């Protein structure tokens, strides 16, 4: 049977690394997971209990397409709690993870063939989802001096219908402060460019909190998720905030594409909104892990790293060690027993010389992983990978 050219997207390399790590584990190897961008912790306990109760008493059928009204209200209340922003719950769309939100957003905002800008390095699936929707991703190389986030000067000569930013970003963990976010939003507003803000790592900061685009404008799409701060990757539940005049368009798309997000996951998400103590304890663990990474990676020989403001990643420039991050990551996995992500996932060009280390797992794993990396690097004959 014929297959479409738009379906021929690139693999998500980190998923391939995860699979290779799983194969080694199945063969009896011990692997430390510094590749995965997911918490090692489960969904908060009280949230899982809420689901157990709901399962005992309810049928868990379809919900309305935009999500349980009480969950939409709970998410709107989070904007008051986190940013002091009053948000009409009607503008909140509950989705099957932020991944489904991207499908909805890109379909609602763009015509086939439109060019959509994204900062490089950046989350790889933006590019692939855009391509699968017959849109044209436009990579915007960002600069180290701007902490690998786009600035208006990078956008000036770039023709595009939309721009996606992520703060804190993946793979860098760097953030756009209020002034930087405002500058990007003003630039886009001036040129009629739709602004999409991926805020999936909000809640996970180690200094100042992240700024939401909604603190600056209502004329944007904001995408978020229960996957990261709320420790619920596998539940596949996220949300999107859209301008008032886009609600009905998105509702019709959501009805037809998804019917609704999983009912069970919405129940867990609603209860998770109230589990602050447990979630903040997770954040304390990440903060400790981050410190260990910032101390331990340079000792192992990964010296070119910028301290991340948020999320749970360290992005390292390994140009002094390799020109082939895929081969280097494979070598680290097989020789050191540590799974890491090659930068090629995030930047098709400069990513040949970068690696992403995740510190989302338990502190004991981070200590062991760093020890393995140090031992591995010390044994390498000339410190170079060819």
Ligand X SMILES: Cc1ncc(COP(=O)(O)O)c(C=O)c1O
Residue 13 touching ligand X (CB under 6 A):
no
Alpha carbon distance, N-terminus to C-terminus of the chain? 41
Looking at beta carbons only, is 170 or 266 nearer to ligand X?
170
Residue 233 touching ligand X (CB under 6 A):
yes
Pick from 239, 183, 246: nearest CA to 218: 246
Residue 98 touching ligand X (CB under 6 A):
yes
Q: In sequence order, what are the beta bridge partners of 357?
A: 314
DSSP code for 118:
E
Q: Per-residue string for binding with ligand X, 211-230, x by CB under 6 A?
A: --------------x-x---
Q: Per-residue string for binding with ligand X, 122-161, x by CB under 6 A?
A: -x--------------------------------------
Looking at beta carbons only, is 102 or 322 nearer to ligand X?
102
Question: Contact at 8 Å (CB) between 249 and 107?
Answer: no
Residue 343 touching ligand X (CB under 6 A):
no
Residue 168 touching ligand X (CB under 6 A):
no
Residues 188-207 that bind ligand X (CB under 6 A): 198, 200
Residues 6+ positions from 310 with CB-CB distance below 8 Å:
168, 173, 175, 201, 202, 204, 205, 206, 210
Cα–Cα distance for residue pair 202/193, rounded to 1 Å: 24
Binding residue (CB under 6 A) for ligand X from 99, 182, 217, 249 = 99
Residue 238 touching ligand X (CB under 6 A):
yes
Residue 97 touching ligand X (CB under 6 A):
yes
Shortest distance in whole angstroms from residue 335 CB to ligand X: 26
Question: Contact at 8 Å (CB) between 367 and 375?
Answer: no
Question: Contact at 8 Å (CB) between 341 and 313?
Answer: no
Q: Which helix (H) or strand (E) holds 311?
A: none
Residues 22-51 that bind ligand X (CB under 6 A): 37
Helix or strand or coil: residue 366? helix
Residue 38 has which token pair?
């997911």
Residues that bind ligand X (CB under 6 A): 37, 97-99, 123, 166, 170, 198, 200, 225, 227, 233, 238
């Amino acid at each position: 049977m014929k297959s479409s050219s738009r379906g021929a997207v690139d693999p998500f390399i980190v998923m391939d690394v995860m699979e290779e790590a799983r194969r080694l584990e199945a063969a009896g190897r011990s692997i430390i997971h510094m590749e995965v961008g997911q918490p090692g912790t489960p969904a908060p306990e009280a949230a899982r209990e809420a689901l157990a109760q709901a399962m005992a008493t309810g049928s868990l059928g379809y919900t309305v397409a935009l999500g349980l009204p009480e969950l939409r209200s709970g998410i709107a209340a989070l904007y008051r709690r986190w940013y002091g922003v009053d948000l009409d719950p009607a503008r909140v769309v509950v989705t099957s993870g932020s991944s489904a939100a991207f499908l909805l957003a890109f379909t609602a905002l763009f015509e086939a063939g439109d060019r959509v800008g994204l900062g490089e390095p950046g989350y790889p699936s933006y590019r692939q989802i855009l391509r699968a929707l017959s849109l044209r991703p436009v990579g915007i190389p960002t600069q180290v001096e701007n902490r690998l986030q786009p600035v208006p000067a990078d956008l000036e000569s770039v023709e595009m219908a939309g721009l996606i930013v992520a703060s804190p970003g993946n793979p860098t963990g760097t953030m756009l402060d209020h002034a930087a976010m405002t500058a990007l939003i003003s630039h886009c507003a001036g040129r009629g460019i739709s602004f999409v803000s991926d805020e999936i790592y909000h809640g996970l900061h180690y200094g100042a909190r992240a700024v939401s685009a909604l603190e600056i404008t209502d004329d944007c799409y904001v995408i978020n998720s229960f996957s990261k701060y709320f420790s619920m990757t596998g539940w596949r539940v996220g949300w999107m905030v859209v301008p008032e005049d886009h609600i009905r368009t998105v509702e019709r798309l959501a009805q037809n594409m998804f019917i609704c997000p999983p009912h069970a996951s919405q129940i867990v998400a609603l209860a998770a909104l109230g589990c602050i103590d447990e979630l903040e304890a997770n954040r304390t663990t990440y903060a400790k892990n981050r410190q260990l990474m910032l101390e331990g990676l340079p000792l192992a020989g990964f010296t070119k790293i910028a301290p991340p403001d948020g999320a749970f990643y360290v992005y390292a420039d390994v140009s002094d060690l390799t020109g082939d991050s895929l081969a280097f990551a494979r070598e680290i996995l097989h020789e050191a027993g540590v799974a890491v992500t090659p930068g090629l996932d995030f930047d098709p060009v400069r990513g040949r010389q970068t690696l992403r280390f995740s510190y989302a797992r338990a502190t004991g794993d981070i200590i062991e992983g760093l020890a393995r990396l140090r031992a591995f690097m010390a044994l390498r004959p000339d410190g170079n990978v060819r």
